[in-house]
Amino acid sequence: MLSRRRRAVVWALIILASVIGVVSILTTWVDRQALDADSWRNASADLIEDQEVRDALSVYLVDQLYTNVDVGAALSERLPPNLKAAAEPIAGALRQPATDAVDRLLEAPRIQQLFVNASSLAQEKLVNVLEDKTGAGITTGDGTVTLDLRELLLSLATTLGLPGTRLEQLPPDAGQVTVMQSDQLAAAQSAVRGIRVLSAWLLVLVLGMFALAVFLAKGERRETLRNVGFAWVLMGLIVLVARRGAGNAVIDALAQPASEGSGKRAWLIGTQILGQIGWAAIVYGAAMIAGALLAGPHRWARWVRDRIAPVLNDRPGLAWAIVAGVFLLLVAWGPTHAFRTLWGVALLAALIAGGVLALRHQTLAERTGHAAAGSPIVPGPKDAPA
């Protein structure tokens, strides 16, 4: 039995590690999503392939054309003299058909690639500014970063048949969306410097605190491992709930009612990695809980250990071959990010190997104990308490 003081220390470590773990997940998400060029490009491709996002982008682009180009005058140049007076009403009536046409054009791979390229360039500029670097033809002096959709706007306008003389009148800022203002630069740069450090070391701290909690729980390590598993599940659930809640709050604060649907889709696509990390935490926690229960006194656990004991203890080579085969299949599948990185594979391999060794030691001790008592392993009439 643990002393009251030691039990308090163990629980304090678990609770504090869980809080830091949530922060670690958020910093890791920002580092892997917003600051990683490949992840940003993949998210941009997913965005432009989403129907609701394309609908909203179509409305924005047509609004930009009508705001910056005299569409009525452009039509008047092409109409016969007796119909020139109807140019303005025709231009107004064509606004919705033009929006529908742009929406269809945005389905074309060439047009979608223009959006992905513009988004990727904006991300490159953003990272350069946040890390106080130069590149992509920019300086970091004013700290203003924009998503420049001008090339996409011109391509769509040309496809719709607007004359080049009118398109030349587009102002330089037509189709530009501000990503970051200069007054946000200092705070954003400090945040990025912190994220770069924290995303790498917070996870190490969390794992170390959980490991210390299990180590200190001498005599109750199985129960503590189970509690650590529940902590991981709770962290994952908190992240998933926060993702939904924060998304709703951001959309309500920034989006117009007409664009709420596309805003929510953009948020969900932009936070895909956050959702993946949350689910990964739940899966890892569930695996820890399952391992702790398998080592416990329950009837089904004793029955399972009894069945696998001959392989673990009499044919260890076969046991390790099965474990290694399953692990290699998981690595090939890569269900979570950890299975797709060298450090993650090494850490998971070490944890799984430790679990197998612990289970082998337990089954060997149980077999030896029963053999000394002169009786086979027989499950009890009822489950013992966990």
Q: Which amino acid is at 87?
A: A
Q: How far is CA 6 from the centre of its chain?
A: 37
CA dist., res. 217 & res. 4, Å (int) = 11
Can you read off the two tokens belonging to residue 214?
A: 């299990």
Q: What local confidence, expressed as pLDDT, does residue 156 receive?
A: 76
Is residue 102 packed enough to be buried (19+ CB in 10 Å), middle (13-18) or exposed (0-12)? buried
CA dist., res. 195 & res. 31, Å (int) = 7
* pLDDT tens over the chain, length 386 residues: 678 899 999 999 999 999 999 999 988 888 888 888 899 899 999 999 999 889 888 888 888 888 877 777 766 766 777 666 776 787 777 788 888 888 888 898 988 998 899 888 888 887 877 776 655 444 444 566 677 787 888 787 777 666 665 666 677 777 777 766 666 666 777 777 778 777 778 889 999 999 999 999 988 999 999 999 999 999 999 999 999 888 777 766 655 655 677 888 888 888 999 999 999 999 999 999 999 999 999 999 999 999 999 999 889 999 999 999 999 999 999 988 889 999 899 999 999 999 999 999 999 988 787 655 554 444 444 444 44
Q: What local confidence, expressed as pLDDT, does residue 377 receive?
A: 46
CA dist., res. 261 & res. 263, Å (int) = 5
Q: What local confidence, expressed as pLDDT, does residue 34 receive?
A: 82
Q: Which amino acid is at 236?
A: G
Q: Is the pTM of this model over 0.85?
A: no
Q: Where are the chain's structural domains?
A: 4-21+188-373, 35-180
CA dist., res. 355 & res. 169, Å (int) = 69
Can you read off the two tokens belonging to residue 99?
A: 């929006």
Q: How far is CA 104 from CA 61, 111, 115, 164, in A?
A: 13, 10, 14, 22
